[in-house]
Every structure is written in structure tokens, then in C-alpha cells.
Amino acid sequence: MSSKPENIALERTTTIPFEDEYLAHLLLEKRLSENTAHSYLSDLRLCLKSSAKKIDSLESLIPERLSGLFDGLAGLGFTPSTLARFLASLRSYCAYLMDTNRLPSDPCVGIRVPKQQRYRPSSLSHSDVGKLYDVLKNHIALGKKNARRDFVLIELLYGMGLRISEAIQLPLDAVRFDEEVALVQGKGNKQRIVPLGLKVIASLRDYIIAERAALAQPRCETLIVNNRGMSISRMGAWMIVRRLCLRAGLDASSISPHTFRHTFATHLIEAGADLRAVQELLGHADISTTQIYTHLDQDYLREVHQSFHPRNRG
């Protein structure tokens, strides 16, 4: 393999040099999921395509030009978080090119992007969650179609803290009722064990017996199924969440399936759960990702201080 940078055009439309090899590297060596790997490529492609300074060959990947590239992207209105994502994708790509002797040195050294504001995930209050469960219970009592399925979807998102992709792809046989756990396949094909509370177990059993058994096609392996008896789509799950939130009188425009995962973690932390335990339950590889949940709402902190500190009592 040549030790010199290879003068291969970086087309401003879609092409990335050695794209297939790089994708295989992300999937096989870095062990990223297909979604994450393609996100890296998509960000890299958009980053290079949006550059005011033409990046037309691997020889163009030099610090001076890349520094100007990010200055230009900032001027186009890309947010700090998007620029940070672009830079992470570019660094990963350049590291691969160096490892395969296609770049002599790292052109990303010293490149900085605007500092991001600390991300604070939004979550629902206990009262909001209560309103949602009241709607779900009412739907079951009224015999509404798919009421138990909708209940189980919320149980997976809030009761277990699953990502939406994990919830809709959870296989039926991954639910171990005798052990009161579910085996969840997370990002990077990493498996984790998530406990099932007694209320979640009751909801799952009820759904499997009363609804799923009559709907599911023989070849469908997922716990949650649609009206055709097959796996529910991501968009279908989003629509269910939106409809339920509207019925509960919540601001559906600000709530996504991921909001329930944030709420799951926030409520655990508020109740005094250990950060490491929450990290395991969420399947975070790095505890710094979980630490965002320690920056709780200031109103909540003020309430705790007023209620429990001895200088505020009596």
C-alpha cells in the first residue's frame, strides 16, 4: 500500500475516497452499528460538501485548509453540536487514512469548534407520567384497539428506559419472565440485562395473551407488533407516543419517545439511585454520558433543599 497521499477527487456531491473500505472498518473493527456507521459517513459527506474551500483530493486534507473549513461552516449557521459531530467524523476518517498509510500525519490537530452549551435533557414530571398512565388504563378499560400494545410501548420506554430502536426491536424471547429481566441489544450490538418490575411484567403478560397472540405472524420475532402482525416501525411508535400525549393533555410537540428514556433516568437519579447503576441500566459505555442526568432541574433542587435541609425546617 502506498505511503503517499493518493490524489483521488473528493466529489462535492457524495463520494468519499475508500468509502466502502472505511465503512467496513467502522462496522467490523470499530464495531459500530449500521446506523452509527452510516451517520459518520453522512456527517463527513455533508461537512466536505458544505465547504467553501474546495477539498478536491486527499492532499487537500491539511490543517490550514481544514481550519478554514470549520470557520466557513460556522458562518453558514451550523450549530456547535453539529460542528462537533462533523469534526468527530472527520477525525475518525483521517485516523483511518493514517492507519492505512494514505495520510502521512493528522490534519485535524489543533482544530477547534465553538464550545457547545451543556446539554440538559428534557423530562416529564411525575404528574405528567401519571396523566399518561391514566389515559392508558382508561383505554384498556374501554376496550380500545391496541390499548395494551400502547401501554407496553410506554412501559418499555419509561418503565425500562429503552431507546426507541431497542423497544421496537426487542424480541419476544428476550423477555425472561422467570428471571424478571429482559436481554436488550443496544448500540454497537452490546447486550445488557434490564430488570423487569412487577408492574411491567403484569403489563407484558397481559398484552402477550390478550392482544399479541391473536395478531403476530409466525415469522415475527418482536414483542411489539402492528395491526398486520409484524414489527412496528419507528414512525409508528412515534405516532403512538404523540397520540397518547395529546390525549393526556401534554405538549406533544416537545415530547419524543426518547423523552421517556430521559424521564426514566431523571426519576431514578432524583430518587437517589447510584449513577453507576443508572449507567448500566441505560447501556451507556461512558459514565460521562450518564452524568447529564445529575444536572437536575433547579426548581427540583430548590424544592429538595427547602424540604429536607435542617435550616429550612421548623
Write out the catalytic residue numbers. Answer: 163, 187, 258, 261, 284, 293
The string of DSSP codes covering 69-82 is HHHHHHHTT--HHH
8-state DSSP, 160: S
The Cα 151–Cα 138 span in angstroms is 11
Contact indicator for 219, 211 with CB cutoff of 8 Å: no
Query: In which order are the strands placed within the sheet that holds 191-195?
Result: 175-176, 181-185, 191-195
- Return the C-alpha cell found at 127: 404528574
How far is residue 301 CA from its own chain's centroid?
A: 27
Give, for 44, the enclosing helix (H) or strand (E).
Answer: helix 34-49
The Cα 99–Cα 22 span in angstroms is 11
The string of DSSP codes covering 47-68 is HHHT-SS---SGGG--HHHHHH
The Cα 287–Cα 93 span in angstroms is 25
The Cα 248–Cα 128 span in angstroms is 8
